[in-house]
């Protein structure tokens, strides 16, 4: 396997105010480094959710966003099972890491930049361009004649996919008030969850027929969504006086510094334990340089040298949003932790094939969808996010704790029930954190907060593979005394156990050696789940730092759907005349 996102007292000195800043005047975007505070709800009574019926144009655009979410998520997971076939057919065995990871790398590094482009040029054209890049990359990947062309196609797909991931959140946040966002984000994410669930199954079926359709399948789905978005995604944005002035607003130096730093970190994470050992300078140096560069980026963004930050420092100016970004990282971190290492258990301990392990993971993937949608609906109904965060991290901790009980003799009923419990916990978190972050920010910060949230989600996905893999490899090294065959010991030693879980390695051994290796893998998984419990509890404790902020029921943005805004203006003019 290879590496292929309550206490209301102030306990953090980093904060200034947890009250939501004022919405800017129409035509002015908040690009300052300071957030403005307004008085909180004086009587503490929550307004009810907006019940205004949505127009047909709203639903057409929204369904198109769901289709785009399904398509990109489908592509993001479809290679999981098809990768060995694709690699063999294209003749790129030595480049399989890059075939798998090029999408993740390119999609992650561009995300904060996309948020700034959406503020400068509006949401429409960045979204259409992102979908176009995704379709183009899919066509190049499907028609690839060599491994270089395939990696190029995956990289272009990733650029488009990264833009789509960010803009799905931004556009959804622009279409509905904060109080309702959890509900609609839940539907968008659930569409992605369906794609992620079907991806491995479709990938395995297509790979047996014609692997090129792993990529070509995106063309009709993406094309249909692109056509609908082109005609109906009509959103307001602040028109720039000229292209020259628009281009002058881009944070060129900051974007370059950020992308370079993230590329260094991600290259280290992708190559670690696969191309080079984790303790080698090939891995340590780029990761260290990357984190130093990342810190330098935030210092630069906070200085007067940066005229319009792509990641405004005021996003971290209150404890609720500050902690919320950490929780966003932790939630995706835990999601990937479970989604990657449950198949390690199925393949390494129970002896399942990669395709069978994808089927065994279905309960986890399927229950993410209703958990997210129910959490979003509860947020819209109650206007509360802290109880959902407590529930999410608490239930996740229970799920990870139950995983420690799994072993070679565990029944199917046991691991299915354990999967469902963990899935419910993580599903609650995936939908409830972004609205909490935005509660203490204005609607003018939708793009910058959503793009940073999306980046941290993708970043968490990568670390959710890396950290448990390191723990697993270290723990299996300690248990290799249980294996009597020196050749098998050599194959698994020095951090190579994770890469030998799949690919038929265990099945190729003698019955006695199989039994010993399964015992080693099972021993290595126990600390993986125990560490997962620790991170769940860390998230649970951090939730106490959040402050409840009233969730707005009115939308004040320059980027709403054009027709809806024109209708409201017409109604206001009519009332004034009477």
Determine the pLDDT at residue 29. 42
Among 14-23, 150-159, 348-357, the least confident range: 14-23
Checking if the pLDDT of 282 tops 70, the result is: yes
Checking if the pLDDT of 57 tops 90, the result is: no
Q: For the chain, first and last CA: distance in Å? A: 69
Are 378 and 461 part of one and the same domain?
Answer: yes
Q: Tell me: the pLDDT tens digits for 293-336?
A: 999 999 999 998 998 999 999 999 899 999 999 999 999 999 99
Which residues is 272 bridged to in the sheet? 276
Closest listed residue to residue 137, CA positions, set 154, 149, 125, 114: 154
d(CA 201, CA 77): 9
Determine the pLDDT at residue 83. 73
Q: Which of 180-194, 240-254, 273-287, 410-424 has the highest mean pLDDT?
A: 410-424
465 versus 395: the higher-pLDDT residue is: 395
Q: How confident is the model at residue 271 (pLDDT cuts 50, 70, 90)?
A: confident
Q: What average pLDDT does range 432-454 have in this prediction?
A: 93
Checking if the pLDDT of 485 tops 60, the result is: yes
342 belongs to a structural domain: yes
576 versus 502: the higher-pLDDT residue is: 502
Number of H helices, E strands in the chain: 20, 0
Are 266 and 125 part of one and the same domain?
Answer: no
Are 355 and 490 part of one and the same domain?
Answer: yes
Q: How confident is the model at residue 134 (pLDDT cuts 50, 70, 90)?
A: very high
Q: What average pLDDT does range 161-183 have in this prediction?
A: 92
Determine the pLDDT at residue 25. 37
Residue appearing with tokens 């995300």: 111
Are 157 and 280 part of one and the same domain?
Answer: no
Closest listed residue to residue 170, CA positions, set 554, 444, 410, 480: 444
Determine the pLDDT at residue 152. 94
41 belongs to a structural domain: no
Are 451 and 405 part of one and the same domain?
Answer: yes
Checking if the pLDDT of 574 tops 70, the result is: no
d(CA 421, CA 392): 10
Checking if the pLDDT of 169 tops 80, the result is: yes
Determine the pLDDT at residue 433. 95
Are 353 and 291 part of one and the same domain?
Answer: no
Q: How confident is the model at residue 540 (pLDDT cuts 50, 70, 90)?
A: very high
Residue appearing with tokens 């290259």: 267
Quote the domain boundaries for residue 184: 54-233+245-250
Question: Where does residue 233 rank: exposed (0-12), middle (13-18), buried (19+ CB within 10 A)?
Answer: buried
Say how far residue 121 (Cα) sits from the centre of its chain: 24
Q: How confident is the model at residue 50 (pLDDT cuts 50, 70, 90)?
A: low
36 belongs to a structural domain: no
Checking if the pLDDT of 359 tops 80, the result is: yes
Q: What average pLDDT does range 27-31 have in this prediction?
A: 41
Checking if the pLDDT of 573 tops 60, the result is: no
Are 344 and 432 part of one and the same domain?
Answer: yes
Determine the pLDDT at residue 47. 52
Are 288 and 354 part of one and the same domain?
Answer: no
185 belongs to a structural domain: yes
Q: Tell me: the pLDDT tens digits for 371-410?
A: 999 999 999 899 999 999 999 999 999 999 999 999 999 9
Are 212 and 327 part of one and the same domain?
Answer: no
Are 225 and 260 part of one and the same domain?
Answer: no
Report the domain count for the chain.
3
H or E element: which one contains 222? helix 218-232
Say how far residue 216 (Cα) sits from the centre of its chain: 24
CATH number, residue 367: 1.20.1250.20
On average, the pLDDT of the chain sits at: 83
Q: Tell me: the pLDDT tens digits for 3-13?
A: 443 333 333 33
Among 397-406, 428-437, 487-496, the least confident range: 487-496
Are 551 and 462 part of one and the same domain?
Answer: yes
Checking if the pLDDT of 262 tops 90, the result is: yes
H or E element: which one contains 58? helix 56-90
4 belongs to a structural domain: no
286 belongs to a structural domain: yes
Q: Which of 13-22, 253-262, 505-514, 549-558 has the highest mean pLDDT?
A: 253-262
Q: What average pLDDT does range 345-350 have in this prediction?
A: 90
Tokens representing residue 509 in the block: 């051994």
54 versus 383: the higher-pLDDT residue is: 383
pTM (2 d.p.): 0.83
Buried/exposed code over 303-332 (b: 16+ C-beta within 10 A; e: otherwise): eeebebbbbbbbbbbbbbbbbbbbbbbbbb
Determine the pLDDT at residue 43. 39
| 3-state secondary structure labels for all residues of 149-175 | HHHHHHHHHHHHHHHHHHHHHHHHHHH
Are 296 and 227 part of one and the same domain?
Answer: no
Closest listed residue to residue 429, CA positions, set 466, 384, 383, 390: 390
430 belongs to a structural domain: yes
38 versus 180: the higher-pLDDT residue is: 180
18 belongs to a structural domain: no
Determine the pLDDT at residue 258. 95
């Amino acid at each position: 396997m290879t590496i292929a996102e309550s206490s209301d007292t102030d306990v953090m000195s980093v904060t200034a105010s947890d009250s939501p800043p004022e919405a800017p005047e129409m035509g002015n975007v908040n690009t300052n480094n300071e957030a403005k505070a307004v008085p909180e709800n004086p009587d503490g009574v929550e307004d009810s959710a907006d019940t205004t019926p949505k127009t047909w144009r709203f639903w057409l655009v929204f369904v198109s966003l769901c289709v785009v979410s399904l398509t990109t998520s489908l592509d993001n997971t479809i290679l999981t099972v098809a990768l060995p076939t694709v690699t063999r057919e294209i003749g790129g065995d030595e480049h399989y890491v890059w075939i798998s990871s090029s999408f993740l790398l390119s999609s992650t590094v561009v995300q904060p930049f996309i948020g700034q482009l959406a503020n400068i040029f509006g949401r429409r054209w960045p979204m259409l361009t992102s979908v176009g890049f995704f379709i183009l990359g899919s066509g190049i990947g499907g028609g690839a004649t060599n491994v270089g062309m395939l990696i190029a196609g995956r990289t272009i797909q990733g650029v488009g996919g990264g833009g789509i991931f960010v803009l799905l959140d931004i556009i959804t946040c622009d279409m509905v008030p904060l109080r309702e966002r959890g509900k609609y984000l839940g539907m968008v994410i659930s569409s992605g969850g369906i794609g992620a669930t079907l991806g491995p199954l479709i990938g395995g079926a297509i790979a047996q027929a014609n692997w090129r359709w792993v990529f070509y399948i995106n063309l009709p789905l993406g094309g249909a969504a692109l056509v609908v978005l082109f005609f109906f995604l009509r959103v307001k944005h602040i028109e720039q006086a000229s292209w020259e002035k628009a281009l002058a607003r881009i944070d060129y130096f900051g974007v370059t510094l950020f992308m370079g730093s993230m590329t260094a970190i991600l290259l280290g994470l992708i190559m670690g334990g696969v191309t080079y050992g984790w303790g080698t300078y090939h891995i340590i140096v780029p990761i260290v340089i990357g984190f130093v560069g990342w810190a330098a980026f935030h210092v630069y963004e906070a200085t007067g040298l940066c005229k319009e930050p792509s990641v405004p420092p005021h996003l971290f100016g209150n404890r609720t949003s500050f902690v919320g970004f950490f929780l966003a990282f932790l939630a995706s971190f835990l999601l990937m932790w479970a989604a990657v290492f449950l198949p390690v258990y199925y393949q390494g301990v129970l002896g399942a094939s990669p395709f069978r392990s994808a089927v065994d993971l279905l309960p986890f993937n399927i229950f993410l969808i209703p958990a997210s949608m129910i959490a979003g609906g509860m947020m819209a109904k109650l206007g509360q996010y802290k109880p959902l965060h407590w529930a999410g991290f608490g239930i996740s901790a229970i799920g990870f704790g139950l995983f420690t009980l799994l072993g070679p003799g565990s029944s199917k009923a046991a691991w299915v029930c354990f999967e469902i419990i963990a899935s419910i916990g993580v599903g609650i978190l995936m939908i409830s954190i972004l609205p909490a972050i935005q509660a203490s920010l204005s609607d003018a910060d939708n793009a910058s907060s959503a793009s940073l949230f999306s980046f941290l989600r993708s970043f968490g996905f990568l670390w959710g593979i890396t950290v448990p893999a390191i723990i697993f490899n270290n723990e299996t090294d300690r248990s290799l005394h249980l294996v009597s065959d020196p050749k098998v010991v050599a194959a698994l030693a020095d951090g190579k156990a994770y890469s030998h879980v799949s690919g038929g390695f265990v099945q190729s051994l003698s019955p006695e050696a199989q039994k010993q290796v399964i015992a080693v893998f099972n021993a290595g998984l126990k600390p993986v789940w125990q560490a997962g419990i620790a991170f769940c509890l860390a998230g649970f404790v951090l939730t106490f730092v959040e402050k409840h902020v009233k969730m707005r029921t009115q939308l004040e943005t320059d980027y709403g759907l054009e027709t809806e805004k024109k209708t409201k203006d017409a109604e206001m003019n009519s009332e004034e005349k009477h």
